[in-house]
Structure 1
Amino acid sequence: MNTEEFLRLIEKQRSCPQTLPKALQGMWYEKQGDWNKAHEIVQNASDADSAWVHAYLHRKEGDLKNANFWYRRSGQPEFSGELSQEWEQITSVLLKKVNASHEC
């Protein structure tokens, strides 16, 4: 699945597939406008991808100090572009990981 297909799925389906990794679930709910649900999903996850989404969410919220903490924890650099560009970048990388894990 690519980013465009992921976006179409978000538009068609209200609930997020539970088979997606937590980080992608967070991006799903954030795109639907449910920042709180997205944050709830990633805040207690211990993986680097969820930390990256957590950083993005706090950047969107305007809490840059907290965002910077989560960027460091994720191993990703702070993003300086538009939030929409960051959403696309994170989602694209996460989808590539999912696709790679399903290849034989």
Structure 2
Amino acid sequence: MTLDTFRQSLAERGPPSGLDTALQGLWWAGAGDWDRAHALAQQREGDPRCDLLHAYLHRQEGDAGNAHYWYRRAGRSAGAGSLQEEWDALATEFLARPAGA
């Protein structure tokens, strides 16, 4: 799936089938359902992709301290640029390297 296809799928009622937990959470974040995205990130705490999603979500809500905690757990620097740029970067990364690949 391409980034454009993933973005276009946000118009649907739910994420495309076959997505891993991190991509499902990112889809819900992109669709505007922070709570659902956060619940998915929490389901897989310790998975670096879900921890990175968790960081993004707390950055999105404006909780910088919590976001920094999750960026550290994911082994990443804090997000920079706009939230949309970070969402696009995460989607590109997650789509290029599916979980377990």
Structure 1, residues 46-93: CA drift from partner, whole Å, max 9, x if none? Answer: 300000000000000010000001001111111121100000001100
| Percent of paired sites with the same residue | 39
76-85 vs 52-61, greater mean Cα deviation: 76-85
Alignment TM-score, normalising by the size of structure 2: 0.91
Alpha carbons of structure 1 residues 18 and 5: separation in structure 2 relative to 1, 3 Å: closer
2:94 equivalent to 1:87: no
Larger radius of gyration: 1
CA RMSD of aligned residues (A): 1.7
Cα deviation, residue 44, structure 1: 2.8
Structure 2: gaps spanning 5 or more residues: none
**What's 1:42 paired with?**
41
The 3-state SS of whatever aligns with 2:97 is helix
CA distance in 1 between counterparts of 2:93 and 2:19 reads 14
**What's 1:74 paired with?**
74
CA distance in 1 between counterparts of 2:74 and 2:25 reads 15
The 3-state SS of whatever aligns with 1:10 is helix
- The total of aligned residue pairs comes to 100
The 4+ residue runs of structure 1 with deviation greater than 4 A are none
Structure 1: gaps spanning 5 or more residues: none
Cα deviation, residue 38, structure 1: 0.2
**What's 2:55 paired with?**
55
CA distance in 2 between counterparts of 1:43 and 1:58 reads 12
Alignment TM-score, normalising by the size of structure 1: 0.88
Cα deviation, residue 18, structure 1: 4.8
